[in-house]
Chain A
């Protein structure tokens, strides 16, 4: 069927690397692939088993013909439960729409932040040569610095994480 051949054609490794997926997304992709493989394998196994029942043989062996009639009737009336593919496909489509909407919202937010940061940088860089830049100007351009200062100081942390690795340790000891 279409689903099966599509799964065969998908190159799972390339998807993971081309989309740059990491961590949880890659793991769930892997899990999905595994489930697909498992189900396909089981289907293959089951297909090899015979599906018809030899009723003539049972009529000959058993004495109670009524039971065999009953079973034969039930067997002919049996239909495998059709799996409603359509409902699943609709659910997947709805999920996809939702995910696309989320991704777009995130992209917009990230774009906004990027634009804001670029504006700040341009302000800071163009207004004055870099050597004369003062802390007050940076604090005015980026108010989160003052908030972070008060937060760190009230919590009792007097060093900025990541500062030593970047700028070197000036201590004498």
Chain B
């Protein structure tokens, strides 16, 4: 186990996993009523900051409501158009637009929380498996319920791929069923694992690089090589933050389409 030097309020940076710890900021203990422990944790705090940031950016980029847009407006419009094109291309072009606000807020939620995690000494909320699994389970179960509502028991035709020979049918249905169940986990796991792996790697590398660079002058110059790798990898991490959000949203739209259209 990791040695734990945590004094109150002192950041425990001995292990690469300590950056993902959930800590209480303000908490209320009720030993009388149901022994509850209600708290504002650091993850709640950063999630709230993310939501606040989203709303503030949308408010500030309206350019006094002018028709002609300045650069901020154009970036917000571009985001709108991007997600709208994802929704119309993945789900039905006519009836699928009704899911647009949900997909928009999902994308922006994941994007902003990923990017907040990229800030040094900040906290990556999407690296917590509970959060991403909660999202992905909700989305896949929701899409399944949508499918059952629309198609009744015919929804199980989703498990029969098109054009398969009749003899292989039982085996194929079983495999498709298992892969359908695996969707729940894979959607959430993909996001959390990518973010966790990136942050852990950066943490470990920077620990080594610090040790190297603080050992002497020659080592200082030698340490510039892993330092440049760290910088390049941070750039990659930024790209991964954006791409993972986009992949999550595209897959969500695809699962909703499966529920609505059954292939």
A binds B: yes
Which A residues lie at the B interface, using CB under 8 A? 130-136, 138, 156-159, 169-173
Q: Is the CB of B67 within 8 A of A170?
A: no
Given known pairs A133-B66, A133-B67, A134-B64, the reply for A156 and B98 (CB within 8 Å) is yes
Which residues, 77 to 96 on B, are CB-close (under 8 Å) to A? 77-78, 80-82, 84-86, 88, 95
Tally the A-B contacts, defined by beta carbons under 8 Å: 46
Q: Which residues of A contact B80 (CB under 8 A)?
A: 170
Given known pairs A156-B98, A157-B97, A158-B97, the reply for A169 and B85 (CB within 8 Å) is yes
Q: Is the CB of A172 within 8 A of B78?
A: yes
Interface footprint category on B: 20 to 34
Say if the beta carbon of B65 comes within 8 Å of chain A: yes
Majority-rule SS of A interface residues: loop
Q: Which residues of A contact B68 (CB under 8 A)?
A: 130-131, 133
Given known pairs A170-B74, A170-B77, A170-B78, the reply for A158 and B67 (CB within 8 Å) is no
A-B contact pairs, 5 of them (CB 8 A): A135-B66, A157-B97, A169-B81, A170-B81, A173-B85
Say if the beta carbon of B220 comes within 8 Å of chain A: no
Closest chain A CB from B67 CB (angstroms): 5
Closest chain A CB from B148 CB (angstroms): 21
Closest 10 CB pairs of A and B: A156-B98, A171-B81, A171-B82, A134-B65, A170-B78, A170-B81, A171-B85, A135-B65, A158-B100, A172-B82
Closest chain B CB from A127 CB (angstroms): 14
B86's nearest neighbour on chain A, judged by CB, is A173
A152's nearest neighbour on chain B, judged by CB, is B97
B77's nearest neighbour on chain A, judged by CB, is A170
A155's nearest neighbour on chain B, judged by CB, is B98
Closest chain B CB from A58 CB (angstroms): 77
B93's nearest neighbour on chain A, judged by CB, is A159
Closest chain A CB from B101 CB (angstroms): 8
Q: Which residues of B contact A130 (CB under 8 A)?
A: 68
Which B residues lie at the A interface, using CB under 8 A? 64-68, 74, 77-78, 80-82, 84-86, 88, 95, 97-98, 100-101
Give the distance in Å from the alpha carbon of A98 to the alpha carbon of B78 in the complex: 54
Given known pairs A131-B68, A134-B65, A170-B77, the reply for A158 and B82 (CB within 8 Å) is no
Given known pairs A158-B97, A171-B84, the reply for A134 and B66 (CB within 8 Å) is yes
Closest chain A CB from B87 CB (angstroms): 8
Q: Which residues of A contact B65 (CB under 8 A)?
A: 134-136
Q: Is the CB of B97 within 8 A of A156?
A: yes
Closest chain B CB from A85 CB (angstroms): 55
Give the distance in Å from the alpha carbon of A172 to the alpha carbon of B243 in the complex: 12
B75's nearest neighbour on chain A, judged by CB, is A170
Give the distance in Å from the alpha carbon of A114 to the alpha carbon of B194 in the complex: 60
Q: Which residues of A contact B97 (CB under 8 A)?
A: 156-159
Give the distance in Å from the alpha carbon of A16 to the alpha carbon of B13 in the complex: 87
Closest chain A CB from B93 CB (angstroms): 10
Contacts A135-B67, A158-B100 known; 14 new A-B pairs at CB < 8 A:
A131-B66, A134-B66, A134-B67, A135-B66, A138-B67, A156-B98, A158-B97, A159-B84, A159-B88, A170-B77, A170-B81, A171-B78, A171-B81, A173-B82
Give the distance in Å from the alpha carbon of A169 to the alpha carbon of B86 in the complex: 13
Q: Which residues of B contact A158 (CB under 8 A)?
A: 84, 97, 100-101
Give the distance in Å from the alpha carbon of A133 to the alpha carbon of B69 in the complex: 11
